[in-house]
Amino acid sequence: MNLIKGALPYFLLPLVISFALVPLCKQVGFRLGIYAQENNRTVHHGRIVRIGGTAIFIAFLTSLTVFLSADDTLNGIVIGGSLVFIGGLLDDIYELSPKKKILFQVAGAVIAMVIGKLYLQEMQIFALDISSPIITIMISFFWIIGITNAINLIDGLDGLSSGISLIVILTIGLLGYFMGRRDICILALCLSGAILGFLPYNFHPASIFVGDCGAQFMGFTIACISLLGFKTTALITLGFPILLLFIPISDTLLAIIRRRLKGQKFSQADKGHLHHVLMFKLKLGHQRTVLTLYVVTLLFAFAAVLSYFYPSLGIALVAVLIIFFELFIEYTGMVNPKFHPILSLVNRLTGWPKILDGQDPVDSKIQESAQEKSLPE
């Protein structure tokens, strides 16, 4: 009980600020005409403001000003995150090219690493100990850039990126508490409060979108806090963050593979993401798709916490979850309709289930559903 009382101020202040700022963001967005553009891959309809992440950004920074004293680490996160936010906001307004967007992300990552010293000191992968500064710094750099974009890529349905980010950052804060890291707890509580204050407006049916400014800022900040918390752990250094961010990381990697197999550029958007498959191929609908991905994220979060106390049980749970995820990928043809090694073996042994083959099941079903109705993002 004392723990909850002690945590409430760090959580409630950004929640209240964020919740109060969202209506103002709507008004500004409507007046400036900053709406989410409809195209052949979006699933929303109508004029919906897409700068809701501004409320999260302001609430988070305001709370840090109240609760924490500035130091190099905090300055690195704040200055780097501000650059990433500005880049995302400019993209929301002017539709920046991918090259221009990545410049802001690179600048933010470099600032976080140089000023905040947010990079891995060493990596221990089972018996392999990696201590080369060149390798660990490069991994840290790509980690920040990768997670920033991963959270942005899953921002395709109402409340998806913000809800998953909320689960991830709360779990990081919980692990930080177990590790005795007060700084991680405060950062996590402030960010989670800011996200939760925004989420009621963003959950289906959304009245405002988080936008690139919010999604990239959340991804960047989560990446930095995870480095702050796990850069010296004796287990696999990025093991916990990878588990917590399994959904956005796997979705990003699958998108890269899928687009390369089709001869497309990585920046060329499609409707083959996890949420599209669940929503259209499996016909879960908008809200149930989002809730399903929340549950999956919670399962991986539980696996991370379990691994902290009971590594063997945690690893066993992770193995089970990954096997089920692999079966899901094969069954839905998410990467390629002809990729189903495990299901093919099962089919030969039991005659069940029928293997999807031939046409791309994801794209075909999505096109059919998209013609039937238009759903809000």
pLDDT in tens, the chain (377 residues): 677 778 899 999 999 999 999 999 999 999 999 987 665 555 556 789 999 999 999 999 999 999 999 999 999 999 999 999 999 999 999 999 999 999 999 999 999 999 999 998 877 665 567 778 898 899 999 999 999 999 998 988 999 999 999 999 999 999 999 988 999 999 999 999 999 999 999 998 999 999 999 999 999 999 999 998 765 554 445 678 888 899 999 998 988 888 887 777 766 767 788 988 999 888 899 999 999 999 999 999 999 999 889 989 999 999 999 999 988 988 888 877 777 777 676 677 666 555 444 444 444 444 444 444 333 33
Q: CA 260, 50, 105: angle at the middle one, nearest 5?
A: 50
Cα–Cα distance, 177 to 159 (Å, whole number): 27
The count of residues in the chain is: 377
pTM: 0.87
Contact 231, 49 (CB under 8 A): no
Residue 246, Cβ density class (10 Å: 0-12 exposed, 13-18 middle, ≥19 buried)? buried
Helices 182-202 and 211-230 pack at an angle, to 10 degrees, of 160
Q: Which amino acid is at 259?
A: R
Alpha-carbon dihedral sign for residues 339, 345, 348, 352:
negative
Q: Which residue matches tokens 């001869």?
A: 263
Contact 239, 307 (CB under 8 A): yes
Q: Which long-range contacts (CB under 8 A, 24 or more apart) does 185-188 make?
A: 185/7, 185/10, 186/10, 186/67, 186/68, 187/64, 187/68, 187/77, 187/221, 187/225, 187/228, 188/225
Cα–Cα distance, 233 to 240 (Å, whole number): 10
Contact 32, 193 (CB under 8 A): no
